[in-house]
Amino acid sequence: MILLLGGTAEARELAVLLQESGVRFVSSLAGRVARPRLPVGAVQIGGFGGVSGLEAYLLEQRVDAVVDATHPFAEGMTRNAIAACSTLGLPMLRLERPGWAEPEGADWHWVDDHDAAASTAAELGERPFLTVGRQSLGRFVEPLADHQALVRVVDAPEAPVPATWTILLSRGPYPVESERALFAEHEVDVVVTKDSGGTYTQAKLQVAAEAGAAVVIVRRSAPVAGFPVVDSAVAAAVWVSGIVGPR
Ligand code: NAP
């Protein structure tokens, strides 16, 4: 049995490939969003209860290997998976999509964390477009309290946000045309994002370059060594077939 830690498009792609190959697997989601996009196959929703909870789950379910296909910024889950797999001696694979590359003529500002992103965005523009996810929004409230921020999130923020902010509830993928319209309507002059990578939310970077808007981008942490890493669902499916053998 394979445990597929998910919550990403790549994890859903891998679920399709595993199902097609007849591999026994369960996808796991954190349960952060109200209406998650569900992968094919068996799904369990909700955390395991830290490293010890995950270890208990892996033993109880007789998991043979773990594929960590969580989002590049879901660092807590990745840490827990590494710890549990090391303790139990289970094979683990990290499936992580590549980060974004700065397009020609763009004005990108790389920062290490959300606090630096907030202060940099406050200096660079008046009308920031925040695409950092609901959980990080609190870090932006004070530095951008007087800015006309446009905030795009899947579910509404739990804490109150400044009256000058506009909240847009939506979920990608976002095509270039609709991003152009959004940038024009809100006169976006700086975009704040994490280096999530992937195609679903990439159009804003192209549109920012076209519109002359700066981009503040939070870099990923250094990768953890000691286990294999692939950047595509197909490569992850090949690794899994090496673990479970031919079906
Ligand atoms: P996180 O900070 O790394 O994880 C915090 C805790 O949430 C984990 O310790 C675990 O709880 C639970 N958890 C996280 N991912 C899980 C999974 N796939 N299955 C079961 N439990 C999980 O995670 P996060 O950044 O909040 O991300 C949560 C989920 O959203 C992940 O699945 C990720 O792939 C997806 N996601 C995250 C982002 C992002 O920007 N962070 C963006 C898009 C999608 P326990 O300790 O109780 O096991």
Cα separation, 11 vs 159, in Å, equals 30
Q: Is-contact 42 25, C-beta < 8 A?
A: yes
Q: What is the mean pLDDT of residues 92-114?
A: 94
Minimum CA distance residue for ligand 1 atom 6? 77
pLDDT of 103:
81
Mean pLDDT of the chain: 96
The whole-number pLDDT of residue 191 equals 98
Query: E strands, the chain, where?
Result: 2-5, 25-29, 42-45, 65-68, 92-95, 108-111, 128-131, 150-153, 166-169, 190-194, 214-218, 229-230
Instruction: Provide the CA 160 distance to its chain's centre, in angstroms.
Output: 24
- Express as a percent the part of the chain with pLDDT over 70: 99
What backbone torsions phi and psi does residue 126 show, to the nearest 5 degrees?
-105, -25
- Asked whether 204 and 180 are in contact (CB, 8 A), the reply is no
Per-residue pLDDT for 225 more than 90?
no
Give ligand 1 pocket residues (Cβ under 6 A).
5-8, 28-30, 32, 47-50, 53-54, 70-71, 73-77, 80, 133, 194
Q: How confident is the model at residue 105 (pLDDT cuts 50, 70, 90)?
A: confident
Confidence of residue 46 (pLDDT cuts 50, 70, 90): very high
Amino acid in position 100: W
pLDDT, tens only, 159-185? 999 999 999 999 999 999 999 999 999
Which residues are 128's β-sheet partners? 190
151 alpha carbon to ligand 1 midpoint, in Å?
21
Taken in order 127, 220, 30, 26, the sign of the CA dihedral is positive
> 8 by DSSP, 3-state: which?
coil
Residue 246: pLDDT over 80 = no
Atom of ligand 1 nearest to the CA of 78: 3
Residue 247 above 80 pLDDT?
no
Pocket test for ligand 1, best of 70, 194, 217, 218 (most atoms within 8 A of CB): 70
Token couple for 72: 């590049």
Q: What is the per-residue DSSP string for 112-139?
A: SSHHHHHHHHHHH-SSEEEES-GGGTHH
Cis peptide before 246 (omega within 30 of 0): no
Is 0.85 topped by the overall pTM? yes
Of 102, 92, 138, nearest to 214 by C-alpha is: 102
The pLDDT of residue 213: 97
Alpha carbons 150 and 165: distance in angstroms, whole number: 6
Q: Which helix (H) or strand (E) covers residue 31, if one does?
A: none
Taking the centre of ligand 1 as the mean of its atom positions, its distance from the CA of residue 147, in whole angstroms, is: 30
Is pLDDT at 76 greater than 90 in this prediction? yes
Give the CA distances from residue 238 to residues 17, 21, 191, 225, 245, in Å, rounded to whole numbers and listed in that order: 10, 10, 37, 21, 10
